[in-house]
């Protein structure tokens, strides 16, 4: 068992910060000590195997990205990051746990969908991983199977009000699934967009010859997100299910969440970096020599990028401050332009939906600290502490405290990170949705359960380091 002392850094939690030494014993955190402490009469620094000097740096709990899609079959292709490449990229960016979405497709048994996901991930991950369950076919068999998911350490499931013919559930199916959520304490996660209406709008746009990527965002109007969010809230209220709305991007959807929360309903929401930083106008303006107007396909995701003129981005930052939104995940769902996004040349409906950001979430959110949108403590809370509490990992992940897994990031506020093309990131993508972003801050050292896996420019981890996380029920439920 290796012992490590991380000395002199500013240890940041969701509730405060202090200069302290962190003692790691094997895979867990043993103690948070005053700098230069002695333990049982001996100088701690002199008695450990390894000392990491963190003076002038932040020492934070490793990031938890609770919304990823490694190897997701989608839109006639498959998300380009495997569990191996995607979790390694996550580690480079200071994320030490992911919760990915196991998929039950239409006609498939839930158990088989989950087993297939275990097969994809087992032995391949660089960091610890858990699963939510996508239920793409709510029927009597799957409802029964869902009741057994908590025993498997899968304490949340996702339903889709979008994508008719793929993952879509109608209101009757949602109601039944939410009754399972109420009975079991599993969190209902919702993709809240009115899919059937969106599909009509999309068809009409294509009929008018409006096929460029930008029209993806026009078809998926904010009204469709507001309406679905409200409907999900009301179905959750009726059934008593706890509700977590994923990838919130419209300010009107946030208003719905705030309204429900103010009434005391158990409703939560996340947003993603793309909805904080990127906009529909920039997507409209995107053009390159290689791709022409199809350049905009790089930012096709659902929910879509929103109008900056309508100030959706400002509303997302505000909601992160007021706690109307509780977390930031990436919805990491990468596709290459070549052979993948390209499938939608001439018809935006055929562009596989998704953006890759897993490597940049901690950095991008730290920019919110730099620009004064959020505090240092809120940064840690949004990216690590709340995800752990929300998804049944409290005590093990999301905080630097005795007994917790030693998932720790040493973050240098005086460092710098340039995000460029595929050459400067580690995700399996042939472009970056974040090309040109300059970050004031740098992930210096990453420990995953006590093992240093990133040390400056060196990757020291290995495929298979990561273990499956059997999760408990959410700490947000009573
Ligand atoms: O565009 C997205 N979000 N792709 C991933 C699937 C989903 O809906 O989360
Ligand atoms: Zn979704
Ligand atoms: Zn997603
Ligand atoms: Zn550095």
pLDDT band of 307, cuts 50, 70, 90: very high
Q: Is residue 251 part of a domain?
A: yes
Instruction: Using the mean position of ligand 2's atoms as its centre, give its distance from the Cα of residue 414 in Å.
Output: 35
Angstrom distance (rounded) from CA 160 to CA 194: 9
Mean pLDDT confidence for 328-335: 98
Q: How many A from CA of 161 to the centre of ligand 1?
A: 12
Question: Does residue 414 register a pLDDT over 90?
Answer: yes
Stretch 309-313: mean pLDDT:
98
Is the preceding peptide bond at 17 cis, omega within 30 degrees of 0? no
Measured distance CA(303)–CA(73) in Å, rounded: 18
Q: Is residue 97 one of the residues assigned to a domain?
A: yes
The predicted structure's pLDDT at residue 306: 98
Q: How far is the CA of 245 from the centre of ligand 2 (A)?
A: 9
Number of domains in the chain: 1
At residue 284, the pLDDT reads 96
Name which residue sits closest to atom 4 of ligand 1, judged by CA.
Answer: 354
Judge if the beta carbon of residue 426 lies within 6 A of ligand 1: no
Distances (CA, A) of 327 to 170, 317, 423: 27, 11, 29
In this structure, how many other beta carbons lie within 10 angstroms of the beta carbon of residue 345? Answer: 16
Using 50, 70 and 90 to split pLDDT, how confident is the model at 349? very high
User: Is the minimum distance from the CB of 174 to ligand 1 under 6 angstroms?
Assistant: no
Residue 456, class by beta-carbon neighbours within 10 Å (0-12 exposed, 13-18 middle, 19+ buried)?
Answer: exposed
- Going through 40-193 in order, the beta strands assigned E by DSSP cover 42-43, 50-53, 58-61, 63-68, 73-74, 77-78, 95-104, 128-135, 156-160, 187-191
Q: Summarize pLDDT for 104-123 with one digit per residue, the tens.
A: 999 999 999 999 999 999 99
* pLDDT tens digits along 52-97: 999 999 999 999 999 999 999 999 999 999 999 999 999 999 999 9
pLDDT class of 169 with cuts at 50, 70, 90: very high
Q: Which atom of ligand 1 is nearest to the CA of 158?
A: 9
Looking at residue 297, the DSSP 8-state letter turns out to be G
- Distance between CA 408 and CA 25 in Å, rounded? 13
Examine residue 36 and state whether it is found in any structural domain, yes or no. no
Residue 258, both tokens? 């705030």
Q: What SS3 state is found at 474?
A: coil
CB contact at 8 A, 80 and 72: no
Residue 270 has pLDDT above 80, yes or no: yes
Confidence of residue 410 (pLDDT cuts 50, 70, 90): very high
Residue 433 lies in a domain: no
Whichever domain contains 268, its CATH number is 3.20.20.140
- The pLDDT, as a whole number, for residue 195 is 98
CB 344 within 8 A of CB 300: yes
Does the beta carbon of 69 lie inside 6 Å of ligand 1?
yes
Could you tell me if the CB of 195 is within 6 A of ligand 1? no
The residue whose CA is least distant from atom 7 of ligand 1 is 302
Q: Give one word for 52, left, alpha or beta, with left for phi > 0 and alpha for psi -120 to 50.
A: beta
Is the shortest distance between the CB of 354 and ligand 1 below 6 Å? yes
Atom of ligand 1 nearest to the CA of 301: 1
Top pLDDT among 21 and 421 is at 21
Q: Please report the pLDDT score of residue 369 as a whole number.
A: 98
Residue 435 inside a domain? The answer is no
Q: What is the CA radius of gyration of the chain?
A: 22
Q: Are 401 and 347 in contact (CB under 8 A)?
A: no
263 neighbors 287 (Cβ within 8 angstroms): no
Give, using CA atoms, the residue closest to atom 2 of ligand 1. 354
> Is residue 78 one of the residues assigned to a domain?
yes
Q: Is the pLDDT of residue 13 over 80?
A: yes
Residue 39 lies in a domain: no
Q: Indicate the top mutation candidate among 213, 269, 353, 433 to test ligand 1's pocket, ranked by most ligand atoms within 8 A of CB.
A: 353
What is the domain range of residue 330?
63-390
Write out the residues surrounding ion ligand 2, Cβ under 5 A. 191
The angle subtended at Cα 47 by Cα 41 and Cα 51, nearest 5°, is: 125
**Percent of the chain clearing pLDDT 90 (strictly above):** 96
- Give the pLDDT score at 40: 75
Ligand nearest to the CA of 442: 4
434 domain-assigned: no
d(CA 103, CA 109): 10
């Amino acid at each position: 068992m290796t012992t490590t002392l991380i000395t002199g850094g500013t240890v940041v939690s969701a509730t405060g910060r202090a200069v302290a030494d962190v003692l790691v014993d094997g895979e867990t955190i043993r103690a948070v000590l005053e700098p230069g402490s002695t333990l049982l009469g001996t100088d701690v620094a002199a008695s450990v195997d390894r000392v990491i000097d963190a003076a002038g740096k932040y020492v934070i709990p490793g990031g938890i990205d609770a919304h990823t899609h490694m190897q997701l079959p989608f839109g006639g292709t498959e998300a380009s990051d495997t569990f191996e490449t995607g979790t390694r990229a996550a580690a480079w960016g200071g994320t030490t746990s992911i919760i990915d979405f196991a998929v039950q497709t239409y006609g498939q048994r839930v158990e088989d969908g989950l087993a297939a996901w275990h097969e994809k991930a087992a032995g391949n991950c660089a960091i610890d991983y858990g699963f939510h369950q996508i239920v793409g076919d709510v029927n009597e068999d799957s409802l029964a199977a869902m009741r057994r998911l908590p025993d498997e350490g899968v304490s949340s499931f996702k339903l889709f009000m979008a994508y008719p013919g793929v993952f879509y559930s109608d209101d009757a199916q949602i109601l039944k699934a939410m009754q399972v959520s109420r009975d079991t304490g599993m969190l209902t996660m919702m993709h809240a967009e009115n899919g059937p209406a969106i599909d009509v709008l999309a068809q009409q746009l294509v009929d008018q010859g409006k096929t460029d990527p930008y029209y993806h965002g026009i078809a998926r109007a904010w009204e469709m997100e507001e309406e679905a969010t409200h409907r999900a809230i009301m179905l959750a209220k009726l059934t008593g299910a706890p509700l977590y709305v994923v990838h919130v991007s419209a300010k009107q959807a946030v208003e719905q969440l705030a309204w429900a929360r103010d009434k005391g309903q158990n409703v939560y929401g996340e947003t993603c970096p793309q909805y904080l930083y990127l906009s529909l106008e920039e997507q409209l303006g995107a053009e390159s020599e290689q791709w022409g107007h199809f350049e905009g396909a790089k930012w096709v995701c659902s929910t879509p990028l929103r109008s900056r003129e309508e100030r959706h981005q400002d509303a997302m930052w505000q909601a992160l401050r007021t706690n109307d939104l509780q977390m930031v995940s990436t919805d990491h769902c990468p596709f290459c332009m070549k052979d993948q996004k390209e499938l939608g040349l001439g018809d935006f409906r055929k562009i596989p939906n998704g953006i890759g950001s897993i490597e940049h979430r901690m950095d991008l959110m730290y920019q919110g600290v730099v620009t004064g949108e959020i505090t240092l403590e809120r940064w840690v809370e949004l990216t690590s502490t709340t995800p752990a509490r929300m998804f049944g990992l409290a005590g093990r992940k999301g905080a630097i405290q005795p007994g917790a897994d030693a998932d720790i990031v040493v973050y240098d506020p005086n460092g710098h990170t340039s995000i460029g093309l595929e050459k400067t990131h580690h995700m399996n993508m042939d472009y970056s949705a974040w090309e040109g972003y300059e970050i004031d801050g740098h992930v210096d050292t990453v420990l995953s359960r006590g093992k240093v896996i990133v040390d400056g420019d060196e990757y020291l981890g290995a495929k298979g380091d990561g273990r499956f996380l059997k999760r408990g029920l959410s700490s947000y439920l009573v």
